[in-house]
Chains A and B, each alone.
Chain A
């Protein structure tokens, strides 16, 4: 490691700026400018004169916070937010519980075929959401589904996962299938970094493997659990590809099922980028508040000793 005195003294005062320049330029280009432009767009609306068929019959007029008022009072947007909350309430606990159980099992020294199981559970994460949804779509549609055929063979009642209630389970299932592996790897890595001698001490004190898991391993991976929860909540609120791909297959999914689908419809079906921009800003703000709220609540407990 070079000592501080070996740093060339004559390097100009600009050097540090030169080093941060790429990051700053990228930040401005791909984050700050698009966000500023979105906010700018959200303050305008299109006004049509006459039949709207002549030249120049559409013009942009300043509307202040009008688009925001409309977004916040939009019934479909609110309903979409509720639907996504219901979906998230189903998805996030199931996915993280499964991920934690798998991680604990893989961390157990007596478990067999650990490498293979790890890969097998992780593999669905490598499949793009759209492909996964198409795949599951075939398995859900009664006439192409082997599950439904099996149920009929066994004279069991048919389960319609594409019914208005079933659709929540259908969508959550796709996300659980794709997401468990990723979360499991994060938790498993955290488990592996726990010093082994803690387990030995616990065993000497007479702890069973279950007690080791509950009293030592889980409390020590709480920071990783908080992190995976945060990522899962953010991903849940942004759900778009799965319901969009599944919608043409069923009557139960509207084209504005989730808030982001509504934004897409506004921007590209209605051609109204201004209200879509306002809705995007609102969604981003909600996500921001939610993420930081979640971190604040859990930080004192989870990261107490690390600050």
Chain B
């Protein structure tokens, strides 16, 4: 309640003001002294940190921290997932009741930073830069000097297919998008009731990943001006490619993550899935009856000579601007995502693909996911694919672009029209929103 806050402000007792100045002075001192010393600006002694996250079983990993750090206890709370958690963080920051730490997806970072929700932890975290691939680190700095989160997991995209059905129909695993299109058509002639994949108007993150692979760059920064190029040549190429496949009926056009799609994965109507490294967990939940029948291959390529992939999903651990224990919180975030024991637990308990470079060669990734028992080199391949992930800059209004994607692409697909105008609509909606908020748009 902003109106109430302004009404109350003049009544804040003087001693609070003094306390605030003292804290500010302490902060200044701590900065002068340097950041290496422990607990410089924060009260020593036991303290508790609140943490909002949604990764499955992450509380087990947190328990390990609590066992080793009884005076820095982290209290987990599963508030919401993904975009819903972004909404909660924005609201709680306004109300001043947010947590100390939160799990945040890469694409939400600019939105949260722009709303002053996240703390810049460069002073505590710059030293771990080398632990992560450059492309991943760039996403938590937003291309500047600040560090707004510690990367947790990434979602390099890959191609999943049913080995048994590929053999039955005499198909080979497509290495390029041309081959993917040919394979899709061949399958339709051999088995008219089956599809190699679907184009989903429900999953903007999926399309964004495919655009990254093609070299798309949706947002960029020039001085103090945002540039938006969602309809750039690379993304147009991706849109017109899928447009053609949908129009000729070579791929399905029903959205992903519906009861219908789950059934299609289960009964072999969908025999392939363009997805990301975390797909085994989803398949285990949605298509239990197909255990052991799937295999993973690198994503089909535009240019087989220089393999690339994009990211679908991936998250970070961020410290909030409202937290009074930012240093302790940053220490936990760094431990969670770089400590070998913690990262191994994240892999085995939460099933995430860790962002830290060293973790990807660790023993936790030696065994394939339980749903893929036969593919012993699963994580070795995953690591090779992950190293080709393209960098990407997210803008401050990703949610707007994503909603525009769902509306415009959904309408284009039901109307049976080309996807290129839908891409133009996505571009227009995103720019209009930035302009309406007063951003400089180039």
Q: A46-B437, A141-B259, A251-B201 are in contact. Are A163 and B407 (CB under 8 A)?
A: no
**B349: interface (CB < 8 Å):** no
Nearest Cβ on chain B to A70's Cβ, whole angstroms: 8
Contact with A along B115-148 (1 / 0, CB 8 A): 1100000000000000000000000001010000
Contact assessment for B90 and A37 in the assembled complex, using a CB-CB cutoff below 8 Å: no
Residues in A43-67 with C-beta less than 8 Å from chain B: 46-53, 55-58, 60
Interface stretch among B38-46, B68-76, B165-173, B250-258? B250-258
**B286: interface (CB < 8 Å):** no
Q: A50-B440, A51-B226 are in contact. Are A142 and B260 (CB under 8 A)?
A: yes
Contact assessment for B414 and A164 in the assembled complex, using a CB-CB cutoff below 8 Å: yes
Q: How far is B3's CA from A45's CA once the two chains are assembled, in angstroms? A: 14
Q: A51-B226, A251-B255, A269-B403 are in contact. Are A143 and B269 (CB under 8 A)?
A: yes
Contact with A37, one of B3, B87, B255, B413 (Cβ below 8 angstroms): B3
Interface size on B, residues (CB 8 A): 50
Contact with B along A223-262 (1 / 0, CB 8 A): 0000000000000000000000001111111111000000
**A270: interface (CB < 8 Å):** yes
Contact with B439, one of A48, A144, A250 (Cβ below 8 angstroms): A48
Name the CB-closest residue of A to B408: A254
Contact assessment for B3 and A144 in the assembled complex, using a CB-CB cutoff below 8 Å: no
Contact assessment for A248 and B258 in the assembled complex, using a CB-CB cutoff below 8 Å: yes
Q: A47-B438, A270-B400 are in contact. Are A249 and B114 (CB under 8 A)?
A: no
Contact assessment for A53 and B114 in the assembled complex, using a CB-CB cutoff below 8 Å: yes
Contact assessment for A249 and B255 in the assembled complex, using a CB-CB cutoff below 8 Å: yes
Q: How far is B258's CA from A141's CA once the two chains are assembled, in angstroms? A: 9
Most chain A Cβ neighbours within 10 Å, of B90, B221, B407: B407
Residues in B1-38 with C-beta less than 8 Å from chain A: 1-3
Contact assessment for A270 and B397 in the assembled complex, using a CB-CB cutoff below 8 Å: yes
Q: How far is B260's CA from A49's CA once the two chains are assembled, in angstroms? A: 46
Q: A46-B437, A255-B406, A271-B399 are in contact. Are A51 and B224 (CB under 8 A)?
A: yes
Residue numbers in B under 8 Å from A141 (CB-CB): 258-260
Q: How far is B269's CA from A56's CA once the two chains are assembled, in angstroms? A: 52
Nearest Cβ on chain A to B232's Cβ, whole angstroms: 20
Q: Which secondary structure characterizes the binding site on chain B?
A: helix
Q: How far is B264's CA from A113's CA once the two chains are assembled, in angstroms? A: 43
Contact with B410, one of A52, A143, A254, A268 (Cβ below 8 angstroms): A254
Q: How far is B83's CA from A253's CA once the two chains are assembled, in angstroms? A: 20
Residue numbers in A under 8 Å from B415 (CB-CB): 164
Q: Which secondary structure characterizes the binding site on chain A?
A: loop
Contact assessment for B407 and A254 in the assembled complex, using a CB-CB cutoff below 8 Å: yes
Contact with A along B389-413 (1 / 0, CB 8 A): 0000000110110110011011101
**B111: interface (CB < 8 Å):** yes
**A181: interface (CB < 8 Å):** no
**B433: interface (CB < 8 Å):** yes
Contact with A along B235-267 (1 / 0, CB 8 A): 000000000000000000111011110011000
Q: How far is B1's CA from A48's CA once the two chains are assembled, in angstroms? A: 21
Q: A53-B114, A250-B255, A255-B406 are in contact. Are A47 and B3 (CB under 8 A)?
A: no
Nearest Cβ on chain B to A139's Cβ, whole angstroms: 10
Residue numbers in A under 8 Å from B1 (CB-CB): 37
**B283: interface (CB < 8 Å):** no
Residue numbers in B under 8 Å from A143 (CB-CB): 260, 263-264, 269
**A88: interface (CB < 8 Å):** no
Residue numbers in A under 8 Å from B87 (CB-CB): 268, 271
**A40: interface (CB < 8 Å):** yes
Residues in B64-109 with C-beta less than 8 Å from chain A: 83, 87, 90
**B326: interface (CB < 8 Å):** no
Q: How far is B110's CA from A40's CA once the two chains are assembled, in angstroms? A: 28
Contact with B along A192-227 (1 / 0, CB 8 A): 000000000000000000000000000000000000
Contact assessment for B258 and A249 in the assembled complex, using a CB-CB cutoff below 8 Å: yes
Residue numbers in A under 8 Å from B406 (CB-CB): 247, 254-255
Contact assessment for A255 and B407 in the assembled complex, using a CB-CB cutoff below 8 Å: yes
**B284: interface (CB < 8 Å):** no
**A173: interface (CB < 8 Å):** no
Contact assessment for B111 and A271 in the assembled complex, using a CB-CB cutoff below 8 Å: yes
**A138: interface (CB < 8 Å):** yes
Residues of chain A touching chain B, judged by Cβ–Cβ distance below 8 Å, are 37, 40, 46-53, 55-58, 60, 70, 137-138, 141-144, 163-164, 247-256, 265, 268-272
Closest 9 CB pairs of A and B: A251-B410, A254-B407, A141-B260, A50-B224, A47-B438, A52-B114, A48-B438, A269-B399, A251-B414
Residues of chain B touching chain A, judged by Cβ–Cβ distance below 8 Å, are 1-3, 83, 87, 90, 110-111, 113-116, 142, 144, 201-202, 221, 224-226, 253-255, 257-260, 263-264, 269, 396-397, 399-400, 402-403, 406-407, 409-411, 413-415, 433, 436-440
- 23 residue pairs bridging A and B, Cβ less than 8 Å apart: A37-B3, A47-B438, A48-B114, A48-B439, A50-B440, A53-B114, A53-B142, A55-B116, A56-B116, A143-B260, A144-B259, A247-B406, A248-B202, A248-B257, A249-B258, A249-B259, A250-B410, A251-B253, A254-B410, A256-B403, A270-B403, A270-B433, A271-B87
